[in-house]
Structure formats: C-alpha cells, structure tokens
Amino acid sequence: MFDRLASDANTSLYDGCTKFTRLSAVLKLLKLKAGNGWSDKSFTELLTLLKDMLPKDNVLPNRMYEAKKMLSSIGMSYQKIHACPNDCILFRNEYASLDKCPKCNVLRYKKNKVPTKVVWYFPIIPRFRRMYRSVKDAKVWYFHIIPRFRRMYRSVKDAKIETSFK
C-alpha cells in the first residue's frame, strides 16, 4: 500500500507536468472539497471535467471513490457512527439496531433512512502507527520519555511556572 502511495507521489499528473504529481493534485483537490463543503457527487463531476480538460495521458482519478482509495494507505480511515440529535447515545453496539433514542425517544432517522446526526470516529491506533512509521518522526514524538529531556523546558515561562509549584 505504501509503495503505491510513493509511486503516486512520484508520478507526474501528465507528461511534461512539473508542478503536480498524481498525489499532490488529489490532495489539493480534496482540500478544496473539504474546505468548501462539496458533496461526493459534485467532486466526482469536477474530477470528470478536469480529466477531460487535461491532456489525454493524465493520471487524475475519475471518481471520488478512486481518490479516497488512493489515500487509504495513509491511515486516515474513519467510521461514521449515528448519534442521537440530543447527544444522549451513539447508535452502536447494543443500540445499533434501534430506530429511536431509548433516553429521549427522538427518532434516529429523517425521511428515507437518512440519519439525523452522524459522528465521524477516527481510530487512534492507525494514527499512532502512521506517526511512528518514520524513525526520525518517532524520535521527535518519543523525546519526553528519555530522562535527559524530562526537565528540559521549551520556554522561560514554563520553567518559572513549574519551579513556583515546588
């Protein structure tokens, strides 16, 4: 998976393109999608239009599904969990089959089985694995466990505050 991501990072968007790689183009477009609240359908239409506008040998994905699949190896997976609109419960585990909240009796779905509230859960283990994947980054994250760094202060203000409690 990581090899595929590395190859996307080195593949130019089309022959002669020096500004964008396949990965950088998809990341910039997904940033626009997230920042402007575009739906998956509108993003797919944009990808289709851009693919037609670029030279024929371009490697831009056709659909949102392909763009998401490209980034799946980064470790940014998530789970969508339905929630009570009043924040009473999450509809998972023993509540997964319920259609209304057992505490406040508010319906789980709007019309056509659309959930009233959805929480996005980002599992922590894949994120830690991604953080510690690189030896260089792992040392940066690991500094607080090494004894010689325990009393090393980041600023004078922090040192004054800690010594005042003793």
- The answer to whether residue 152 is domain-embedded is yes
Q: What is the C-alpha to C-alpha distance for residues 142 and 9, in angstroms, rounded to an integer?
A: 28
Residue 51: per-residue pLDDT: 93
Average pLDDT in the chain: 82
What pLDDT, in 10s, does the model give residues 50-106? 999 999 999 999 999 988 888 777 666 778 899 999 999 999 999 999 999 999 999
With 0.85 as the threshold, say if the pTM is over it.
no
pLDDT band at 152 (very low <50, low <70, confident <90, very high): low
Region 24-47: mean pLDDT is 91
| Structural domains in the chain (count) | 2
Residue 60: per-residue pLDDT: 92
Region 148-161: mean pLDDT is 54
- The answer to whether residue 29 is domain-embedded is no
Query: Comparing C-alpha atoms, which of 54, 63, 75, 73 is closest to residue 8?
Result: 73
- The answer to whether residue 129 is domain-embedded is yes
- The answer to whether residue 62 is domain-embedded is no
Residue 48: per-residue pLDDT: 94
Residues 131 and 157 in one domain: yes
Among the ranges given (11-20, 94-103, 153-162), the one the predictor scored with the smallest mean pLDDT: 153-162
Cβ neighbours of 85 (radius 10 Å): 14
- The answer to whether residue 14 is domain-embedded is no
- The answer to whether residue 145 is domain-embedded is yes
- Determine the structural domain holding residue 116 and report its residue range: 79-121
Residue 90: per-residue pLDDT: 93
Residues 103 and 130 in one domain: no
Are 130 and 73 in contact by the 8 Å Cβ rule? The answer is no
Residue 3: per-residue pLDDT: 77
**pLDDT at residue 156 greater than cutoff 80:** no
Q: What is the C-alpha to C-alpha distance for residues 97 and 159, in angstroms, rounded to an integer?
A: 53
Where do runs of H (alpha helix) occur along the chain?
Answer: 2-10, 22-36, 40-53, 64-71, 124-131, 135-142, 156-164
Q: Which two tokens stand for residue 107?
A: 């319906």
Residue 102: per-residue pLDDT: 92
Are 118 and 127 in contact by the 8 Å Cβ rule? The answer is no
